[in-house]
Structure 1
């Protein structure tokens, strides 16, 4: 079932505590305009535009937002729509989309409101995976978040004049993901983990004074200290264990264990002790009995490991009118 509409309205249609897991990637702050704004009142023939900032050829850094140097195309001063009320005709701008707030604080406040609705529909032992990207202050362009090969329909590339926040220095990293995470934590959510989404094939950036951005954050959030989390479902192969040198070790169960879990390869047998021998006079020695073969089989962690917090997932191209497609 797909509910189409404003997230705050549609969340109210979902029964309380009926959702086990939420995976979401809200529109990033100051990234693009989806063209949903409308104007009320004023002159219908007015363009509601105003000059913004210095002409591009007078800016000290023309590369931070991915804009090349030189050429008459950069001489003109940028124009932006009035935010709120048009000073030329008095029309009022109406736009409910998330991401075009004038300040990071307003963006964070709106997301906190959305997540209060999510908390209502989430089960007590449910989880939330929140993906958010960041941006730089004074960088009106979308940077490497923009894919100019895709057919985005009416969703135009957006130079956001509002991403020039007076509370930060030019070129400062805004820190949107962590601002949101800490605000949600303060609002009652358990901030359980920050996961790094490593992108092996990021969009290029024409910057020369910092690294190209190749990661985003995924936050694991819960509404209680105890929650459902299936660690075994996402375990990773314990490659170090399988490949390590066993030339000087002894055991009689590793080969059976490998076969039981579908692994192959000739390995020298090794001994895995069960713990300290606590009998009188023997407290300083390892129990020589070891673990039996059935006990080994109960513990797949011997040949696998808990999922690490850096996830390498390559984004895939998508040619239709959508920016935030999750990788398949």
Structure 2
């Protein structure tokens, strides 16, 4: 890819230790959190090279808990994608059942590598998946981080304004908590982010006919949204099966 080719990057990398996508060398299956963060920093450093000077990166990332010494995870009737044949050991310095804090570890690492960390966004999921835990609240949110390549960058704030509760105004600048329901996907990919989430990022981060990159394409949600919004999209996917599913979705437009 040539330097400065893309106007915007919208993506959601595999979360550490949560899925096994069956591909050797897959990101997310590293033995340690530090290795996972380092791999993503290198990847996004190269992605930044392909980004225009006024470009932005919209990064959706969720957190993980330590495995507590378990080396595998059984299937869940409510989430078949939870089954895993490997579990990374508890990271050094952490305890069993600790929340790791991966989103902020990654955000600070990317910031240190040269990205401008502009804001964190809470993606609140009103229809979040139930959890069987009884010793903490059910997690119902993930993070979306907005990074920019330069101090000044393209951000169409007017296009993503939200309704105002005041009778004196119809809309207001979008806040940092986005209430967006998850979307079911009938294919074999179990971590598909919703089109409504992607749509806000693409609209705010790119102009019509702009170029968008998703280096973790999955089943092609970013591409489907870009087609709807008249943007060009390039998707990169390691898993051949998911790449095939993405091509099918793009052809069907759904």
Give the alignment's TM-score, normalised by structure 2: 0.70
* Corresponding residue of 1:263: none
Q: Distance in 2 between matches of 1:304 and 1:240?
A: 9
* Corresponding residue of 1:114: 43
Deviation at 1:167, TM superposition (A): 2.2
Which ranges of 4 or more aligned residues in structure 1 deviate by more than 6 Å? none
Deviation at 1:324, TM superposition (A): 2.6
8 Å CA contact retained: 2:18, 2:82: no
Structure 2: unaligned runs, 5 residues or longer: 196-254
Structure 1: unaligned runs, 5 residues or longer: 1-13, 37-94, 243-301
Deviation at 1:195, TM superposition (A): 0.1
Q: Distance in 1 between matches of 2:123 and 2:73?
A: 19
The 1:222–1:27 alpha-carbon spacing in structure 2 relative to 1, beyond 3 Å, is: same
8 Å CA contact retained: 1:32, 1:160: no
* Corresponding residue of 1:97: 26
Q: Distance in 2 between matches of 1:210 and 1:159?
A: 26
Give the alignment's TM-score, normalised by structure 1: 0.55
* Corresponding residue of 2:139: 213
Q: Distance in 2 between matches of 1:164 and 1:131?
A: 24
Q: Give 1:128-207 correspondences, 5 Å limit.
A: 128-139=57-68, 148=77, 157-158=83-84, 160-207=86-133
Q: Distance in 2 between matches of 1:202 and 1:142?
A: 21
Q: Distance in 1 between matches of 2:82 and 2:145?
A: 29
Deviation at 1:313, TM superposition (A): 0.7
The structure where helix makes up a greater share of residues is: 2
RMSD over aligned Cα, in angstroms?
A: 2.2
The 1:218–1:147 alpha-carbon spacing in structure 2 relative to 1, beyond 3 Å, is: farther
8 Å CA contact retained: 2:76, 2:83: no
* Corresponding residue of 2:174: 307
